[in-house]
Structure formats: C-alpha cells, structure tokens
C-alpha cells in the first residue's frame, strides 16, 4: 500500500504562530489591560485574557535515540524513513498565566490500549524502557485556551506515512492495526481558523498488514479451513485470499522445499509493509524429509535459522516485517504428547519445545518470534496427532493475525 502524500501547506518548522488579532482591536484590548494594571483584582480578572502569545513545544522518546530535543509548534518530532517507533511524548504550553488553561493528551500504547489518564503540560504519555510503540494520540486544550484556539496535529505511521490533520481531542494514528507511530506535528491555530493541511484519513482502525505465509500442511489446512478450498500441488501451492494475503506451501514440505522453492515464491510478493510469516510444521523433526541435500546435509535448526536470518535481512530492506511462528504441538489433544509417522518415526512435544527454544536463540533481531506453540498448547484437537480440527486452525490463524506487524 503506497504511503499517503504529505499534506501540502504544512509548516515543518516554525516559531510560535501569532494567533490573536494584531489590529486596532487587539491594541485597544492591550491598552485597556495596561490601564487596569494598578488593580490587583483587575489583574486576577484579566489573567485569563493574556493569551495572545502562547508558546508550544513538544518532544518524543524514540526507539534507539531515546529522548529527542523538544521542537517548536509545527515542527516534526520523531523520524521518518528510519522505521523507528515512538514510545513516549510530552507537550508544553508557555507564555500564558496558569489561569488561562493548558494542554492535555494521551496515547494508545502497544499492549495497553488507550491510557486511562490524560497527561498535562509536560507530563509523559506512553512508556520508557518497555519497547512499546505508540500507535495513536489525542490532544486537546483546556480553559480559556480551548475557547481561543484549536490545537491541530497529525502523525506519521508505519505503512501509511503522514496521515491527515485532526484537532481538539480527536484520534490521530491507528488502532487495532499493530502499526507504530514514527513522528508527530502539532500546531496552534486561532479558533475556527483554517486547518494546516489535508484533514482526511487522520485515524485508521483495524487495518492489518498484508501477509505472505510460507508453510507446509498446517498452513495449507489453515487456508482450507478459512476459505473452503483444499489445495494440493507437487511443487508449491500459491494462493491469494480475499484479504490480499498470499499463502505459499507444500504438504510435507521440509527444509529443501523451503530453501529451494518456498522463499523464492515468497520473493515475488514481498514488498513494503508486508508481513512475512514462516509457519512450518514438524517434517524435519521426523528426519524423513529435507536431509537429501548433499551440501547442506541435515536440515536442523541451524540451517533453518541461517536461511531465515539471511532472507529476513533482505526482506527488511524492502520494508517488510518477518515473523517465525514456533512449531505447534503434536498429539491428538493436550497430554497426548507423541506423533508416530507411518514409517514408525516418533516426534514428542519435548522435542518440539527443544526445537523451538533452539530456533528462538538462533534467529536474529530481524525476526519476530511468534509463540504459536503456546497459543494452542492448552486447547487443540488433531485426528491423526499432527493435523488439527477446524477450530484449532482458526485459533492458530487468529493468534498469528493478531500479532502481525508488531
């Protein structure tokens, strides 16, 4: 999906905008206030009116960089083009009496949702030291400031780039999409004044990244469960579903199929903001497939990890996110921990867990590990101790879908 075009007419970096009228009416108002300066009661009465020169500054805590220097109203806080998440933010108003009001804001945080409390005047919204991305924000003014000004803001997000401008407490960013905020701009504008730029598409909800799923029979049976089409092919099944996801698999596919066919077919569909999901089963644990390669020899965890790490580095350069889903349990149900193949080979869940632990330790930081094993281990059914019923496949897919693009 292409990035949205940057809204035209937006001031990227500016001094605080003079927002009160500066003509004769403004001069008369200031003169009247100065004439009343001798009266303390008059000072109190008019404190809320002296908001003609507010200053706006804001800062962010950014992945890798930590706290960034505060910027002035209208400037960009954060990064673009670096795939760095924002983890926290703060906003400050200055140049106004306390009685004039202030600014308040809150964030939608990965794994938390909308923060229950609003931060105010320099307090932090979000987290630090938890590697949790900001996904959306709300910002609004209070007191006399809310009567005299609008606060406009827009955010730069993963996948979409700059979204539209919105104002006064409305949501900006994404929710339910597992996408990071990367930058933000905020501006004060006189009440009812023109927006700084394009205002459409400021907030998106429940829009997930397109997936490219590479796997064996567990992937293809999941596809069959979701879409009612059971597909077989001697080399590779390649199907696009109704949501635009690509499924690439082979029944019984092991390392050699994955290395020689699976990743090359996936290459055809991996682009910016794709989520590549590697969802393989237990074939190589059976030692029945994948060991005929004279160069690579045994297709153990090391060979898988080396290949996945290499491809993940390439795919990340295209703007994709790569996920490895751990091998899921064997046995007909929880507590039945053994699968015996037609040739008498055995796979136990203890061996599956060791495989998963080894893979987790070998995969690079370019790969996000999904605990598919843990997602269904307490509740699954398999008629042949290896292939699941429809309810289990649906649960497996929902787990993967809900964690994609994180």
223 shares its domain with 151: no
Residue 34 placed within a domain:
no
Write down the pLDDT at residue 205.
Answer: 86
Write down the pLDDT at residue 358.
Answer: 92
State the CB neighbour count (10 A cutoff) for residue 69: 8
For residue range 5-51, what is the model confidence (pLDDT) as tens digits? 333 333 333 333 333 333 333 333 333 333 333 444 444 444 444 44
The Cα 253–Cα 326 span in angstroms is 16
What's the number of domains the chain is made of? 2
In the predicted model, what is the mean pLDDT of the chain?
83
Provide the percentage of residues in the chain whose pLDDT is more than 90.
Answer: 59
CB 372 within 8 A of CB 396: yes
* Burial category of 118 from C-beta neighbours within 10 Å (exposed 0-12, middle 13-18, buried 19 and up): middle
**Mean pLDDT on 324-350:** 88
Whichever domain contains 332, its CATH number is: 3.40.50.1110
Instruction: Tell which of 173, 205, 237 closes a domain.
Output: 205
Domain range for 126 is 54-205
For residue range 149-165, what is the model confidence (pLDDT) as tens digits? 999 999 999 878 999 99
End-to-end Cα, the chain, rounded Å: 17
133 shares its domain with 78: yes
Residue 14 placed within a domain:
no
101 shares its domain with 214: no
Write down the pLDDT at residue 234.
Answer: 78
254 shares its domain with 106: no
For residue range 227-254, what is the model confidence (pLDDT) as tens digits? 998 888 878 889 988 878 899 999 888 8
For residue range 274-319, what is the model confidence (pLDDT) as tens digits? 899 999 888 777 644 444 444 434 457 888 999 999 999 999 988 8
For residue range 162-216, what is the model confidence (pLDDT) as tens digits? 999 999 999 999 987 778 999 999 999 999 999 999 999 999 987 667 899 999 9
Write down the pLDDT at residue 386.
Answer: 87
pTM exceeds cut of 0.85:
no
197 shares its domain with 132: yes
Residue 274 placed within a domain:
yes
Residue 162 placed within a domain:
yes
117 shares its domain with 144: yes
236 shares its domain with 380: yes
Q: Which residue has the higher pLDDT, 366 or 25?
A: 366
Instruction: Tell which of 205, 238, 272 closes a domain.
Output: 205
265 shares its domain with 327: yes
89 shares its domain with 193: yes
90 shares its domain with 177: yes
Residue 8 placed within a domain:
no
177 shares its domain with 226: no
Instruction: Tell which of 205, 224, 257 closes a domain.
Output: 205
What HEC string does the chain produce? CCCECCCCCCCCCCCCCCCCCCCHHHHHHHHHHHHCCCCHHHHHHHHHHCCCCCEEEEEEEECCCEECCCEECCCCEECCCCCCCEEEEEEEEECCCHHHCEEEEEEEECCCEECCCCEECCCCEECCCCCCCEEEEEEEEEHHHHHHEEEEEEEEECCCEECCCEECCCCEEEECCCCCEEEEEEEEEECCCCCCCCCCCCEEECCCCEEEEEECHHHHHHHHHHHCCCCCCCCCEEEECCCCCEEEECCCCCHHHHHHHHHHHHHCCCCCCEEEEEECCCHHHHCCCCCCCCCCCCCCHHHHHHHHHHHHHHHHHCCCEEEEECCCCCCCCCCCCEEECCCCCEEEHHHHHHHHHHHHHHCCCCEEEECHHHHHCCCCCECCCCCECHHHHHHHHHHHHHHCCC
Write down the pLDDT at residue 13.
Answer: 34
Q: Which residue has the higher pLDDT, 334 or 347?
A: 334
């Amino acid at each position: 999906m292409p990035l949205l075009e940057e809204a035209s007419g937006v001031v990227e970096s500016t001094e605080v905008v003079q927002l009160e009228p500066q003509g004769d009416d403004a001069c008369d108002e200031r003169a009247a206030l100065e004439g009343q300066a001798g009266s303390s009661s008059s000072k109190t009465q008019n404190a809320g009116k002296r908001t003609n020169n507010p200053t706006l500054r804001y800062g962010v805590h950014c992945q890798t960089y930590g706290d960034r220097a505060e910027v002035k109203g209208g400037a960009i806080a954060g990064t673009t083009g670096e795939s760095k998440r924002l983890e926290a933010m703060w906003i400050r108003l200055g140049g106004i009496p306390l009685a004039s009001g202030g600014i308040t804001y809150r964030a939608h945080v990965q794994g938390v949702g909308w923060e229950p409390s609003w931060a105010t005047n320099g307090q932090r919204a979000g987290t630090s030291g938890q590697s949790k991305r900001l996904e959306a924000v709300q910002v609004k003014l209070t007191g006399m400031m809310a009567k005299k000004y609008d606060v406009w803001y827009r955010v730069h997000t993963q996948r979409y780039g700059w979204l539209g401008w919105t104002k006064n407490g409305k949501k900006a960013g994404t929710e339910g999409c597992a996408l990071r905020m990367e930058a933000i701009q905020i501006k004060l504008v006189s009440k009812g004044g023109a927006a700084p730029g394009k205002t459409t598409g400021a907030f998106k909800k429940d829009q997930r990244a397109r997936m490219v799923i590479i796997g064996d029979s567990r992937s293809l049976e999941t596809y069959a469960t979701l879409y009612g089409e059971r597909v077989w092919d001697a080399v590779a099944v390649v199907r696009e579903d109704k949501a635009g996801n690509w499924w690439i698999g082979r029944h019984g596919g092991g390392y050699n199929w994955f290395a020689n066919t699976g990743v090359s077919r996936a290459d055809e569909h991996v682009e910016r903001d794709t989520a590549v999901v590697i969802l393989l089963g237990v074939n190589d644990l059976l030692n029945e497939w994948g060991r005929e390669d004279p160069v690579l020899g045994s297709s153990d965890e090391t060979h898988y990890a080396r290949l996945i790490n290499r491809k993940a580095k390439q795919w990340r350069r295209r703007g994709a996110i790569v996920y490895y889903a751990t091998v899921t349990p064997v046995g007909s149900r929880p507590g039945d921990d053994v699968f015996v193949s037609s040739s008498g080979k055995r796979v136990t869940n203890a061996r599956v867990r060791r495989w998963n632990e080894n893979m987790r330790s070998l995969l690079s930081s370019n790969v996000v590990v999904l605990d598919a094993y843990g997602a269904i281990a307490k509740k699954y059914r398999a008629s042949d101790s290896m292939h699941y019923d429809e309810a289990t496949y649906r649960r497996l897919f929902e787990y993967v879908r809900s964690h994609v693009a994180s």
